[in-house]
Amino acid sequence: MRSVDILKKIIEDERFARRLIENAIKMIKPEDFLNAMKSKTDPSKLILNHFHNIIENPAVKPLVQTALRIYWNDIESYLTDANKVYEILCKNEKLREILKREDAKRYLNYAVASAYKNLYEWVWFGKNPFVGE
């Protein structure tokens, strides 16, 4: 499927962004959360670097940014409310146990705030804050 076809499908389905966000959050494994927390890793750095070749491709970048702008209200509603992310993560029993810890709650707040800031900069300003590090 071509990038343009994917973008059209994304734009047609209003629930797409919400499902995409929730599914991405659900994919977080307890051991990955713990490792990121222990190493104080910025999760948005991992995401932006992982998809760097796709999202920084000059032909694809404006399409992805446009799709994310269209659904920005949905994205923003998660990334400005750590409780929503917390509730989704707690559907995983092992993560629920981890998130009972104060240090895990602090890290989650940091991770959500950092993801918001960095995704905002990429979507609206085209700036990947980690390129060149």
Q: Which pair of structure tokens corresponds to residue 75? A: 């994205």
High-pLDDT (> 90) share of the chain, % = 39
Higher pLDDT: 133 or 102? It is 102
Predicted structure pTM score: 0.78
**Separation between Cα atoms, residue 37 and residue 48, nearest integer Å:** 18
Q: Confidence band (pLDDT; 50, 70, 90) for 84?
A: very high
For 38, other C-beta atoms within 10 Å of its C-beta total 10
pLDDT tens track for 22-67: 888 888 889 989 999 999 888 777 777 777 888 888 998 898 898 8
Region 81-102: mean pLDDT is: 94
